[in-house]
Amino acid sequence: MIGSYVPRPEWLMLDWHHACLEADMVTIQRCASCATWRHPPRRFCAACRSRESAFVPVSGAGTVRSYAVSHRSMDPGWHEATPYATLVVALDEQVSLLAATTSTPNDLALGMPVQCSIERRSDDFVLVWAEPSDETPDIRPAASGR
Amino acid sequence: MEGETVWGTTAIVGVGETDYIRGADDHVCDLILSASMDAIDDAGLAPSDIDGIIPPPGFMTTEEIAANLGIDDISYHVSVLMGGASPTAALQTAAMAVSCGLAENVLVTLGWNGYSALRPKADARPSKRSMNLGPMGETVRNLYAPYGLMSAAQHYSLYLRHYVDTFGIPEEAAATIALTCREHAHNNARALMRDRPLTRADYDASPYIAEPLRKFDCCLETDCAAAVIVTSVERARDLRQHPVVYLGGAEGHPQPADEIASRSDLLELGIHRAAPRAFGRAGVTAHDMDVLEIYDCFTYVVLLQLEALGFAEPGGAADFVAGGTIGMDGDFPLNTHGGLLSQGHCWGLNHVVEATRQLRHDAGPAQVPDAELALVTGYGDLGDGSIAILGRDR
């Protein structure tokens, strides 16, 4: 296991981790009323104000929007793995989330297709991983407006 | 105009700051109290004149500050929790309190042991005092730290990388910010890097911390404190110093403010929302400014803020800072004290202190001739922004 810190989430985050563990895949919160996806989990839907929602399993397919490349980390476990990348992944559901990756930083680029999966780290916590997928590279720019 | 009693009716009348040190012998509370008392003295006031306090985000409470300074009647206090955007946002709150009559003379102070807390001396007694991480605490603990992202450099690199890759921002632009701040620190006897030169070769040779950030793109962890006193323009004119008027200011928060990765636009920061509000309230434009004191926790964050303020189009700050524009002889001298990058890190309250000195025409070798208008920004937490526009009183 890369990294040694496993938090003990509470409230909505805990519900999300439990949902991912139960589904054994990435789940994303979806409004039960207007079907808008959202992450990280929130109590109310910003689109329709409904408080009814469910954590729905998703394919985990997405693209790289951005990535940090760390050359040091205060976590000794991660520090051993430097330099390592951490991805901001845009899922096909149009929500973004953070994901670890085993890919070397030089092999990454914005817009690259990736596939997300989960790693169980405790009864209350999953870590999301994303690795380059075999799909034909998506040539759409991942960059948003600015 | 809405809010017309707030904008242009209050002034900074006292400033104080400690030295910027790595490994201070003084307790963090003594740093805060020393800067506060200096600011009160500088204004020509007595502690009993202070009736409003905005304390640091953590480390020390209003109650302790008042009791130790000998302030006997606090009529207003509030904490501002926006990380490095706090002190500049606090000016807005202080101006509101004074103009509404909630308090007459408000002390805004910030101090911390930004160096020593992580590197205590061998004989140091551990302090339980710490910063209040505010909204960042939960997010970092739950969402970022498990992925090995513990430091601000790592968190911000999540979108700085996007900025660099999207617009092809050359490293040259970041180096210009770092080298300019270092050059300006050499005019400032209080700057930690006052006699330490920095060359482009040094910059290029410095290791990456979190790409695109090299060591010299990152500000200095220091032990220090600063303080300013805000009162009404009317009272200010009877006090010791030339008043520096708070013409307008604003805060802004990215959406969502508590998490970076889920933003629809990774490059829309709080300052993008604050800028039009601040300029509208002050009735001036970015290009009217004589001095810029821009929150420089990281070089690339300065570039993004310059764009948000309207000095350049998105991606255009690299061209804007080229050719000496932000040097002492340029049109927009930037971080004339050396900034967080080369003076020291006092959460941007040192930027407010420097802007005040510039507008008093009391900035020594760093003085920008005839400075009339100064702009200060704050940046903190996961992209919160604050702006203060200050003007020399007539």
Q: Residue A42 sits in which domain range?
A: 11-132
Measure the CA–CA gap between B112 and B3, rounded to whole angstroms.
Answer: 33
Q: Which residue has the tokens 């706090």?
A: B86
Of B206, B151, B205, B200, the residue nearest B177 (C-alpha): B200
Residue A141, domain member (yes or no): no
Longest dimension (CA), chain B: 58
3-state helix/strand/coil string of A127-146: EEEEEECCCCCCCCCCCCCC
pLDDT of A23: 98
Average pLDDT over residues B107-131: 87
In our burial notation (b when 16+ CB lie closer than 10 A, e otherwise), range B242-262 reads bbbbbbbbbbbbbbbbbbbbb
- Find, in chain A, the residue whose alpha carbon is nearest to that of B147: A100
pLDDT of B290: 98
Confidence of residue B133 (pLDDT cuts 50, 70, 90): confident
ipTM of model? 0.93
pLDDT more than 70, % of chain B: 99
Average pLDDT over residues B250-269: 97
pLDDT of A1: 65
* A80-99 tens-digit pLDDT: 999 999 999 999 999 999 99
Of B177, B234, B235, B226, the residue nearest B203 (C-alpha): B177
Residue A78, domain member (yes or no): yes
Whether B275 has a pLDDT exceeding 60, the answer reads yes
pLDDT of A2: 83
* A26-68 tens-digit pLDDT: 999 999 999 999 999 999 999 999 999 999 999 999 999 999 9
Q: Let me know if B364 is exposed, middle or buried by CB neighbors in 10 A (0-12, 13-18, 19+).
A: exposed
Confidence of residue B125 (pLDDT cuts 50, 70, 90): confident
Measure the CA–CA gap between B325 and B333, rounded to whole angstroms.
Answer: 7
pLDDT of B27: 93
Whether B259 has a pLDDT exceeding 70, the answer reads yes
Average pLDDT over residues B272-293: 98
Using CA atoms, how far residue B329 sits from B232, B337, B367, in Å, is: 33, 15, 11
The CATH number covering residue A92 comes to 2.40.50.840
Of A86, A104, A16, A49, the residue nearest B144 (C-alpha): A86
* B344-390 tens-digit pLDDT: 999 999 999 999 999 999 999 999 999 999 999 999 999 999 999 99
Whether A143 has a pLDDT exceeding 50, the answer reads no
Six-digit token string for B63: 């109650």
Residue A139, domain member (yes or no): no
- Please name the residues in contact with B248: beta carbons below 8 A apart, sequence gap of 6 or more: B7, B8, B278, B279, B280, B281, B282, B283, B284, B388, B389
Residue A127, domain member (yes or no): yes
> Could you give the strand order of the β-sheet that contains B244-252, starting from the edge strand earlier in sequence?
B76-77, B52-54, B106-113, B223-232, B10-17, B244-252, B384-392, B373-380, B291-293
Please give the tally of structural domains in chain A.
1
| Residues B5, B8, B13, B15, CA torsion sign | positive
Q: Which helix H or strand E contains B248, and what residues bound it?
A: strand B244-252
Tell me the chain B residues in contact with residue A67 when contact means C-beta distances shorter than 8 Å.
158, 161
* Contact criterion met (CB below 8 Å) for B111 and B38: no
* Contact criterion met (CB below 8 Å) for A78 and A60: no
Average pLDDT over residues B70-77: 97
Residue A2, domain member (yes or no): no
Tell me the chain A residues in contact with residue B383 when contact means C-beta distances shorter than 8 Å.
none
Domains, chain B, in order of start with CATH, read 10-118+219-392 (3.40.47.10)
Q: Which residue has the tokens 């789940």?
A: A27
Tell me the chain A residues in contact with residue B208 when contact means C-beta distances shorter than 8 Å.
69, 71, 83
Confidence of residue A135 (pLDDT cuts 50, 70, 90): low
Residue A98, domain member (yes or no): yes
pLDDT of A141: 43
- Please name the residues in contact with B138: beta carbons below 8 A apart, sequence gap of 6 or more: B258
- Find, in chain B, the residue whose alpha carbon is nearest to that of A80: B148
Six-digit token string for B243: 């008043």
β-bridge pairing B52-54 and B76-77: parallel
Tell me the chain A residues in contact with residue B314 when contact means C-beta distances shorter than 8 Å.
146
Confidence of residue B127 (pLDDT cuts 50, 70, 90): confident
Q: Regarding predicted confidence, which is higher, A140 or B192?
A: B192
Whether A139 has a pLDDT exceeding 80, the answer reads no
Residue A138, domain member (yes or no): no
Whether A144 has a pLDDT exceeding 50, the answer reads no
Average pLDDT over residues B68-94: 97
- Find, in chain A, the residue whose alpha carbon is nearest to that of B158: A68
Residue A137, domain member (yes or no): no
pLDDT of A136: 53
Q: Which amino acid is at A41?
A: P
- Please name the residues in contact with A48: beta carbons below 8 A apart, sequence gap of 6 or more: A31, A33, A34, A36
Average pLDDT, chain B: 96
Nearest to A74 among B151, B161, B264 (CB): B151
pLDDT of A140: 42
